[in-house]
Chain A
Amino acid sequence: MTSLLVIIVLVLLAVALWQLTKIFDLTQVGSNSDTSEVATDDDNNVQGYIMFAFLAFLYIFTIYGLFKWGPLVLHTPASEHGLDVDNLMNITWVLIFIVQAITQALLHYFAFKYKGKKDQKALYFADNNKLEAVWSVIPAVVLAGLILYGLYAWTNIMFVDEDEDTIVIELYAQQFNWKARYSGTDNVLGKANVRLIEGVNSLGVDMSDPYSQDDIVVTELHIPKGKKIHFKMRSQDVLHSAYFPHFRAQMNCVPGMVTEFAFTPILTTAEYRELPYMIEKVAHINDLRAKKSVELVAKGETALDPYAFDYLLLCNKICGASHYNMQMKVIVDTPEDYKKWVSEQALLVNQVKEAKASAAPAVDGAVKQDSTKVGDSTAVVKIAMK
């Protein structure tokens, strides 16, 4: 409702301003010559001063923003390569702020300083090779440095050595949820294809593949601190993107191919919750939620739960109407806790067997129909494989 009021006020303000200009026009009777809509010395003067004020606005707005919204941005990276990424990011930011501060100052200051006056002539200054060389070479050198650092970091992040000691985990995307498949003790994922999707086997894992016998499928991602995790991503329907903001990691999930990303977590969930910046952030968020809850309760709705930080995996590629709610909780454990957790999970192969066993006493016809369907899809797979 307040927003509507704001809009009405703005419209009225616009009308008022328009009336003002009309009055202003009427006071200039007699000056209704053909060039009266061309800027006069007075206009140049007023606009020049506003230009200068606008420069002040830009500076103040930037500084205000840094203080007010700076604390909102992602802080301490939770992965090893994230330190490199943030380092490069900070260097780039320093450069950007220097260039921004200087160029905006020059631009707006010149607009103020050289505001036009009648009977004044501008300097005829058409070119200067030295100057132009300077501002071609300086950006070139600075960018060369950034490119080199960037490429060095990129290569380190993106190329995973085959013989590196990693844990292989599959991230599986579908509208609108995530699943993770652990490769088990052999650290190799069993083959999979969407054509094999059936019942509990929602990832289409080929249960006849020896590598798939120890695979585990879960809906909450647990990873150990200090070990490189090699993610292999698949999607069953449309493009998704696996985005781990706190780990500075992101990779699209593409139907029809397997994509990869690897990173080493360096802070457990418990440790990250204890970071001073995170304690402050969570307290702030809970303040906001408490206030909102009061409003909600007054309206007769349920209050919001208090928030505790958890790492998240988000979908960051538009994937359908419920794209905005496709997430998975990520928990970084100590290596011991991780081992314990893994040992408690049920193997996919057992889940599939159980499901089959419970489905067996069903009506004969249904089972038959089902099995013909399976036959069809395996046939398709065979053709496709050829």
Chain B
Amino acid sequence: MSAEGHDHALDHEHEHHHKETFITKYIFSIDHKMISKQYLITGIIMGVIGVMMSLLFRMQLAWPEESFKIFNILLGDKFAPNGVMANDIYLALVTIHGTIMVFFVLTAGLSGTFSNLLIPLQIGARDMASGFMNMVSYWLFFLSAVIMLSSLFVEAGPASSGWTIYPPLSALPQAIPGSGMGMTLWLISMAIFIASSLLGSLNYIVTVINLRTKGMSMTRLPLTIWTFFVTAIIGVVSFPVLLSAALLLIFDRSFGTSFFLSDIYIAGEVLHYQGGSPVLFEHLFWFLGHPEVYIVILPAMGIVSEVMATSSRKPIFGYRAMIMSVLAIAFLSTIVWGHHMFVSGMNPFLGSVFTFTTLLIAIPSAVKAFNWITTLWKGNLQLNPAMLFSIGMVSTFITGGLTGIILGDSTLDINVHDTYFVVAHFHLVMGISALYGMFAGVYHWFPRMYGRMMNKNLGYIHFWVTAVCAYGVFFPMHFIGLAGLPRRYYTNTNFPLFDDLQNVNVLITTFALVGGVFQLVFLYNFFSSIFYGKKAVQNPWKSNTLEWTAPVEHIHGNWPGELPEVHRWPYDYSNPNHDVDFVPQNVPMKPGEEVLHH
């Protein structure tokens, strides 16, 4: 159960040993707290780039082929001559926006930050199982981010075949210029990214299994740890499949194999490829691609569960049901990938199977949503910014999740597949929701990371403007999707049929611009609070989990002296046997005190 045989005396010495230089402390650090900050800052920078890209292509969609000086400044004369965005760079922006947001922000930025920060601190460990591997994981991630960004500057432009990089489009430079050097760099970057992700995930799994402190049984783990743990397992199971797909694609592109290509006539000549199938690539891609959305959303769910319980001053409702639903979602996530492929040309019988498994996922998801709502019921809600983002996350998760019932049903998917309806659905359910989870985490654990507090009023402004804009962007988007508007169109002006959707597009873009600009409030709050924020007390939110029993100042090994010992579950808020409304996990049970939960 616990990390028995852990030599505490050794740990003691451990603290005094390190003579740190600037480089070992801030750059090649092996301390999980520093690595978590590195992940967060890198994630934020990537997030700013990803969101800026979306604002650029949203402007093109609202005011198609109009001239904007900003396009010319940011994209250059080649891709925005006279300030008019070119059609190939539009696709490139869409592609890189998706890649950056899904992988670099919501996978590495979210999991990397909070798994690293919280796993050792919440389970009562001195550090990750392998600090060195953890460091390598971050630097591989950093390297992959640099390569991805450098692909923006190659001559023919970055990868532009959509973040799903379906071949043959992604395999043939004749088909689209971005499939040349840009695509090569994309594939290299992702291969390194996957290596980084696997190193990180293995570390999380091993740490959670082996390094829990005395008394920290699996059923006393905070839900954050449960979700990070399960997320890491999903990552280890599914990311290698994407790596194999990427490798096979590299073979097809560079060494003349035909895994995904067959019978192609392009640019006036027949290519030699014979016998491969693009559908195979789709299977391999979505075998990662679908679990990936749970890799993104599960950590957010864990954060929201933790923040909600703490801020409601109430136990999370149905702790065991929450764990079971996370496990159920994780299992089902590996057998639903085909719902992205209902109209791919695969056997329609498979469509039936995947409809069935997909709609099953709605059950554990519904359980989670209801449990969160019940957690609020008769609580004593402390509406800090982190709590607002948590409530907001439940709201967008429900709104976005419900339309999943339409997309997961093969019959209904036929007509909305690849329209803006899909874009609206997944942005709400895994984009905005996961982002809210990330914001909730940052506001909640900022004092733990930096020893200072973020400004709450700026936090409130940030939340409310973001909340209105998120719905303002994605709610109307459902309608234009239901009108049959395909996604990934550079402009809709070639279809008079869609002329009446133009006003909606202008509204969406306006909300996007407002929402995008107001993220500056967050950035300002975040960076200024690091230096000028008010000093934090040890446990500002009066939380039960172990990270708040460690001193505010970061020290190697997390706790001076012995590791804390755990005597109860993490959700003893407003326990009727105690006068205060929170009882940290390391507080021993009173004589005769009974466990009040199942």
Contact = CB atoms under 8 A, between A and B. Distances in A.
B162 to A, nearest CB: 5
Contact of B405 (A92, A174, A237, A259): A92
Interface in A249-284: 249-252, 254-257, 259, 281, 284
Contacts of B316: 126
Interface stretch (B37-45, B195-203, B450-458): B450-458
A44 interface: yes
Interface stretch (B147-155, B185-193, B232-240, B341-349): B341-349
A212 interface: no
A47 B390 CA distance: 13
A37 B384 CA distance: 9
A99 B370 CA distance: 11
B394 A154 contact: no
B337 to A, nearest CB: 16
Given A115-B383, A256-B263, A288-B499, A35 B540 contact: yes
A7 B405 CA distance: 37
Given A122-B312, A237-B266, A154 B514 contact: no
Contact of B264 (A115, A153, A237, A317): A237
Interface in B440-484: 453-458, 460-461, 464, 467-468, 471-472, 475-476, 479-480, 482-484
- Residue of B279, B343, B417, B494 with most chain A CB atoms under a 10 A cut-off: B343
A37 to B, nearest CB: 4
Interface string A109-120: 011001111001
A250 B414 contact: yes
A132 B403 contact: no
B500 A285 contact: yes
B460 A47 contact: yes
B380 interface: yes
B535 interface: yes
Contacts of B472: 61
Contacts of A89: 406, 412
A375 interface: no
Interface stretch (A219-227, A322-330, A342-350): A322-330
A10 interface: yes
B277 A256 contact: yes
Interface string B153-188: 000000011100011110010011100000000000
Interface in B520-566: 520-521, 524, 533-537, 540-541
Contact of A58 (B419, B453, B471, B574): B471
Interface stretch (A70-78, A179-187, A352-360): A70-78
B456 A147 contact: no
B188 to A, nearest CB: 22
Contact of B484 (A35, A135, A245): A245
Interface string A142-167: 01001100110111011100000000
Contacts of B496: 285, 289, 304, 307
B314 interface: yes
B262 A322 contact: no
Contact of B270 (A84, A121, A126, A197): A197
A320 interface: yes
B497 A309 contact: yes
Contact of B415 (A7, A74, A131, A281): A74
A256 B388 contact: no
Contacts of B464: 50, 54
A69 B277 contact: no
B517 A14 contact: yes
Contacts of B517: 7, 10-11, 14
Nearest to B402: A96
Interface stretch (B113-121, B242-250, B360-368): B360-368
Interface residues of A, number: 132
B343 A325 contact: no
B38 to A, nearest CB: 25
B231 interface: no
Size class of the B contact interface (CB-based, 8 Å): 35 or more
A216 B343 CA distance: 27
B355 A38 contact: no
A72 B454 CA distance: 44
Nearest to A314: B486
B395 interface: yes
A11 B412 CA distance: 42
B388 A47 contact: yes
A18 B521 contact: yes
Contacts of B28: none
B91 to A, nearest CB: 7
Given A65-B476, A114-B376, A127 B384 contact: no
A291 B596 CA distance: 69
B561 to A, nearest CB: 24
Of B360, B500, B524, B571, most buried by chain A (CB within 10 Å of CB) is B500
A62 interface: yes
A321 interface: yes
Contacts of A151: 352, 355-356, 410-411
A330 to B, nearest CB: 12
B356 to A, nearest CB: 6
B156 to A, nearest CB: 11
Contacts of B497: 285, 307, 309, 312
B63 interface: yes
Contacts of A300: none
Contact of B265 (A51, A146, A236): A236
A106 interface: yes
Interface stretch (B217-225, B296-304, B317-325): B317-325
A21 B455 contact: yes
B443 to A, nearest CB: 10
Given A37-B455, A108-B395, A254-B345, A122 B382 contact: no
Contact of B489 (A128, A193, A323): A323
Contact of A65 (B59, B406, B475, B524): B475
Contact of B351 (A132, A135, A158): A158
B598 interface: yes
A14 B378 CA distance: 36
Given A34-B537, A47-B388, A324-B489, A14 B382 contact: no
Nearest to B371: A132
A289 B412 CA distance: 32
B251 interface: no
A317 B486 CA distance: 8
A24 B458 CA distance: 11
Contacts of B366: 135-136, 139
Interface in B472-520: 472, 475-476, 479-480, 482-484, 486, 488-492, 494-497, 499-502, 504, 510, 513-514, 517-518, 520
Given A127-B318, A251-B345, A285-B496, A111 B458 contact: no
A256 B262 contact: yes
B82 interface: no
B490 A254 contact: no
Nearest to B265: A194
Given A39-B384, A154-B348, A320 B176 contact: yes
Contact of A14 (B263, B274, B372, B518): B518
A6 B366 CA distance: 40
Nearest to B542: A38
B414 A157 contact: yes
B381 interface: yes
Given A70-B479, A254-B345, A316-B418, A125 B317 contact: yes
A126 B598 contact: yes
Contacts of A327: 494-495
12 contacts: A39-B387, A50-B464, A51-B383, A72-B500, A116-B313, A123-B377, A126-B598, A143-B362, A147-B356, A237-B168, A251-B343, A288-B502
Given A17-B461, A256-B278, 8 more contacts: A3-B513, A14-B518, A43-B384, A107-B372, A146-B409, A150-B411, A174-B265, A321-B91
9 A-B pairs with least C-beta separation: A256-B262, A245-B484, A158-B348, A126-B597, A259-B345, A37-B453, A69-B479, A47-B383, A73-B482
